Amino acid sequence: MITSTSDEALDLLVVGGGVTGAGVARDAALRGLRVCLVEQRDFASGTTWGSSGMIHGGIRYLEHDWETTRISCLDSGYIKRIAPHLLFPVVFLVPVYADAKLGIEVMEVGLEAYDRFQPYKAGRPHVRLSADEALILEPGLNPRGLVGALTMDEWGVDAARLVVLNALDARANGAELRTWTEVAGLLRDGSGAVTGARVRSRLTGVEEEIRAAVVCNAAGPWAAEVCAMAGVELQLRPAKGIHLVYDRRITNVALSIEAIDGRGLLLVPHAGTTLLGTTDDDHYGDPERLDVTEDEIEYLLQATERVLPSIRQHRIAHATAAVRPTLHRWSRYEDDLSREYEVFDHAVDGAQGLVTVAGGKMSMFRKMAEDAVDAVVRRLGRGLPACTTHRRPLPGGGSPVDVEDVANSMAVPLHLAQRLAGRHGDGVWALLREAEAGDRGTVVCECEGVTRAELRHSIRHEHVERLEDLYRRVRCTGGACQGMRCCWAAAQLMGAERGWSPARVGDEVRAFLDARWRDRPVVLRGVSAAQEELTRGALTP
Could you read off the pLDDT of 83-99 as tens digits, one per residue?
Answer: 999 999 999 999 999 99
Is 433 found in the same domain as 475?
A: yes
Q: What is the pLDDT of residues 458-494, one digit of tens each?
A: 999 999 999 999 999 999 999 989 999 999 999 999 9
**Phi, psi for 175 (deg, rounded to 5):** -75, 150
User: Does 430 lie in the same domain as 387?
Assistant: no
Per mean pLDDT, which range of 18-22, 61-65, 126-130, 442-446 is the poorest? 61-65
pLDDT at 329 over 80: no
The answer on 168 and 149 residing in a single domain is no
Write the DSSP assignment of 43-74 as a string of letters.
TT-STGGGS--EE---GGGTTT-HHHHHHHHH
Domain residues for the domain of 352 are: 1-86+158-236+332-398
- Which of the two residues, 112 and 329, has the higher pLDDT score? 112
Task: Look at residue 136 and give its three-state secondary structure.
Answer: helix
User: For the ranges 67-71, 151-155, 185-189, which has the lowest average pLDDT?
Assistant: 67-71
Domain count, the chain: 3
Beta-bridge partners for 90: 154
Contact yes or no for 502/528 (Cβ under 8 A): no
Residue 4 has pLDDT above 50, yes or no: no
Q: Kindly report whether the peptide bond that precedes residue 274 is cis, defined as omega within 30 degrees of 0.
A: no
Pair (168, 315) in one structural domain? no
Position 524 scores a pLDDT of: 79
> What span, in angstroms and rounded, lies between the C-alpha atoms of 16 and 39?
5
183: phi then psi, degrees, rounded to nearest 5: -85, 120
Which residues 6+ apart lie within 8 Å of 226 measured at CB?
15, 183, 186, 217, 219, 356
Domain boundary among 311, 331, 351: 331
At residue 480, what is the residue type?
A
Residues 356 and 416 in one domain: no
Q: For the residues 326-348, what does the mean pLDDT come to?
A: 77
| CA-based nearest residue to 226, from 205, 191, 203, 199 | 199
Query: Is residue 372 predicted with pLDDT exceeding 50?
Result: yes
Banded pLDDT at 1 (limits 50, 70, 90): very low
pLDDT for the residue numbered 333: 53
pLDDT band at 431 (very low <50, low <70, confident <90, very high): very high
- In percent, how much of the chain has pLDDT > 90? 84
- Give the end of a domain, one of 398, 421, 443: 398
Per-residue pLDDT at 338: 58
pLDDT the model gives residue 63: 76
- Let me know whether 226 and 259 are in one domain: no
Q: How sure is the predictor about 391, in pLDDT bands with cuts at 50, 70 and 90?
A: very high
**What average pLDDT does the chain have?**
94
Are residue 95 and residue 165 in the same domain, yes or no?
no
What is the phi/psi pair of residue 458, to 5°? -65, -45
Burial of residue 209, with CB atoms counted within 10 A of its CB: 0-12 exposed, 13-18 middle, 19 or more buried = middle
Classify strands 128-130 and 146-157 as parallel, antiparallel or unpaired.
Answer: antiparallel
Q: Are 29 and 104 in a shared domain?
A: no
Per-residue pLDDT band for 335 (boundaries 50, 70, 90) equals: low
- List beta partners, residue 355: 216, 345
Query: What single letter denotes the amino acid at residue 399?
Result: S
Mean pLDDT on 32-54: 97
Residues 232 and 210 in one domain: yes
pLDDT at residue 22 is higher than 90? yes
At residue 330, the pLDDT reads 66
* DSSP structure class, residue 41: S
Instruction: Please state which of the ranges 4-18, 64-78, 139-153, 253-267 shows the lowest mean pLDDT.
Output: 4-18
Ramachandran quadrant class, 417 (left: phi over 0; alpha: psi -120 to 50; beta: rest) = alpha
**Alpha helical stretches, state H, 63-182:** 66-82, 104-115, 131-137, 159-172
How many residues can be counted in the chain?
541
- What's 285's domain CATH number? 3.30.9.10
Q: Are residues 1 and 12 in the same domain?
A: yes
Residue 175 sits in the same domain as residue 225: yes
Say whether pLDDT at 5 is over 70. no
Last residue of a domain, one of 306, 331, 356: 331
**Whether 359 and 491 share a structural domain:** no
Q: How far is CA 367 from CA 73, 89, 112, 359, 387, in A?
A: 11, 22, 26, 12, 10
In angstroms, rounded to a whole number, what is the distance separating the alpha carbons of residues 505 and 495?
Answer: 6
Residue 346 pLDDT: 98
List, as one string, the DSSP characters of 329-377: -SS--GGGS---EEEEEGGGGT-TTEEEEEE--GGGHHHHHHHHHHHHH
pTM for the structure as a whole: 0.95
Per the CB < 8 A criterion, the answer to whether 217 and 345 are in contact is no
State the CATH number of the domain containing residue 3.
Answer: 3.50.50.60
- pLDDT for 518: 80
